[in-house]
Structure 1
Amino acid sequence: MLPLVNIALQAARDAAEALAHSSDRLDRVKVINNDPAEFLTSMDLASEKTILYHLEKAYPDHSFHSRASGLKQGKSGEPTWLIDPLLGNMNFAGGYPQFAVSVACQIDGVVQHAVVISPLVREEYTASRGRGTQLNSRRLRVGQATEISDCLISLDGDIADEVAVSMHREIMAANARPRISGCTPLDILNTACNRTQGGWAQTEPACSLAAVNLILQEAGGLIGSESGSPDLSSASELIFGNPKTFKQLTQIRSGL
């Protein structure tokens, strides 16, 4: 395993272990920002501190961009680490066991390495660009479904606007089976594992998507904007799946 990935794994494992322990004592967790768009808890910051301790110790010249505290600029030309210290933090705060730690390494503007750990289900995802992706050392590939009929399709349950309601209706009309986890990045991982065969959601911060996007792509999946574009920089929505289900979900979205 590459040194960058080993360091990221060590950092994520320590943070994930602390989150697992804290999930049994939620009375000690403080909500710092209760705005759903910027929800933040004391464990977001504690997890971030643990991750940064390992990464900064190993790579003091690198840059670090965390969803919790923003960008810490390093030396020009050095890699940037993209961190979400607590994916699914609203799930975590509510005692719902769908949360994880996410660490990605971006080199020359391209994400090259990814680590995601979901501690309560003991799952460790790793990926390096061009080298494939693994779950607990087992190689991952997306499923081979050719249409969404009878497939499990992830949906974003945190919004109820016209598009969300219409997507739910159209996916049901296509005889697919919607699933809602409360954490879009974990939905993307479920598609990489072929537990689900695709999904639709509102977009997420770049730090939250960096690792899971690489994992999905290395597993043979696709992710794009509401128009199907692979450029997510201006996307307001996300569509993901294997190549066939991605195309069908994009067609459903374009027909709304």
Structure 2
Amino acid sequence: MTQVDHSVDTLLDLAMEAAELAGRLLRDGRPAGLGVAATKSSPVDVVTEMDIAAEKLITEYLIDRRPLDGYLGEEGGTTAEGSSGVRWVIDPLDGTVNYLYGLPSWAVSIGVEVYGERVAGVVEVPMRGETYYARRGHGAFVTGGPYGEDQVRLRCRPAAPLAEALVATGFNYVADVRAHQAEVAREVVPRVRDIRRGGSAAIDLCDVAAGRLDGYYERGLHPWDLAAGDIIAREAGALTGGRPGRPADGELTVAASPGVFEPLQALLEELGAWHD
């Protein structure tokens, strides 16, 4: 029987290498006339040829080195569950609409699970020149950007009253769902410092980890949207979850500094942010 390496350090190194390669492809290979290759949940939920190319690069890179692993990719680059107990959860281009329009807030996100437990994650943000990464129990870090090339340990912001919290959110691509989310945001705005909408769940979660946001919430995320960002936020000291008593999931994802998390989560529950 082939011995399978479950070393989290090894898995994290591979995730970082794959994310860096995909980020370079997306940054340097973006066609001048980039267009929509397909749509998903609605006509404005788009896939570009570069999403597909980046996922192909990542999965081929990892399969070549880890042929027994399982893979879950947003754009369909999925194998069977695999036999090693390791699964890679891949969003090759989080923030596709930003990328399509030439906005800088997009990222490559790769999460790593071992026997169903999230153990590591990487979020590569090429237009910032930043790489965020974490492994369970060992903290979260960033290199590049204003931090320089040395790894800097991430810490979420100190607790603030909800009324003084800067909170990010995102909106669904389905018009009726988006309209309800806008109503929720309208109720949230007067109860916090302000709202931001960046367009990349992975980056928003990393910005909570880095102390650039006090909190973030969104309904409708998929496993690949939060697999890496969730562990990075948690390892930076933030709390993450969904509805009260539940983990982050498609109904609701909340990430925030301690002290902000519970009142924000309670407010979102009161406002029905978890349903359409």
TM-score for the superposition, normalised by structure 1: 0.90
- The Cα of 1:17 is off from its aligned counterpart by 0.4
Contact 1:31 1:42 (C-alpha < 8 Å) held by counterparts = yes
Contact 2:167 2:192 (C-alpha < 8 Å) held by counterparts = no
- Residue 229 of structure 1 corresponds to 245
- Residue 143 of structure 1 corresponds to 157
- The Cα of 1:33 is off from its aligned counterpart by 1.5
Alpha-carbon distance between aligned partners in 1 of 2:233 and 2:141, rounded to the nearest angstrom: 10
Of 36-45 and 94-103, more deviation after overlay is shown by: 36-45
- Residue 148 of structure 2 corresponds to none
- The Cα of 1:53 is off from its aligned counterpart by 2.4
Q: Is 1:171 paired with 2:188?
A: yes
Contact 2:56 2:77 (C-alpha < 8 Å) held by counterparts = no
Q: Deviations over 1:6-56 (max 9, x none)?
A: 111111111100111134x341x3422134555211101111111122211
Unaligned 5+ runs, structure 2: 1-7, 144-150, 272-276
Unaligned 5+ runs, structure 1: none
Residues 4 and 167 from structure 1, CA distance in 2 versus in 1: closer, same or farther, beyond 3 angstroms?
A: same
- Residue 240 of structure 1 corresponds to 255
SS at match of 2:161: coil
SS at match of 1:220: coil
Alpha-carbon distance between aligned partners in 1 of 2:65 and 2:41, rounded to the nearest angstrom: 34
Residues 146 and 65 from structure 1, CA distance in 2 versus in 1: closer, same or farther, beyond 3 angstroms?
A: same
Q: Deviations over 1:171-229 (max 9, x none)?
A: 3222411111112221111111110100221221101210111101111112222x233
Alpha-carbon distance between aligned partners in 2 of 1:11 and 1:175, rounded to the nearest angstrom: 38
AA aligned to 2:240 is I
Q: Deviations over 1:107-161 (max 9, x none)?
A: 0101111111000110101110011110111101111123122321102245642
Alpha-carbon distance between aligned partners in 2 of 1:221 and 1:100, rounded to the nearest angstrom: 20
**Could you tell me which of 144, 153, 161 is aligned with 2:179?**
161
Of 105-114 and 33-42, more deviation after overlay is shown by: 33-42
**Could you tell me which of 103, 124, 128 is aligned with 2:135?**
128
Contact 2:59 2:77 (C-alpha < 8 Å) held by counterparts = no
Contact 1:145 1:245 (C-alpha < 8 Å) held by counterparts = yes
- Alignment: residue pair count: 251
AA aligned to 1:12 is A
Contact 1:86 1:99 (C-alpha < 8 Å) held by counterparts = yes
Percent of aligned pairs sharing the same letter: 26
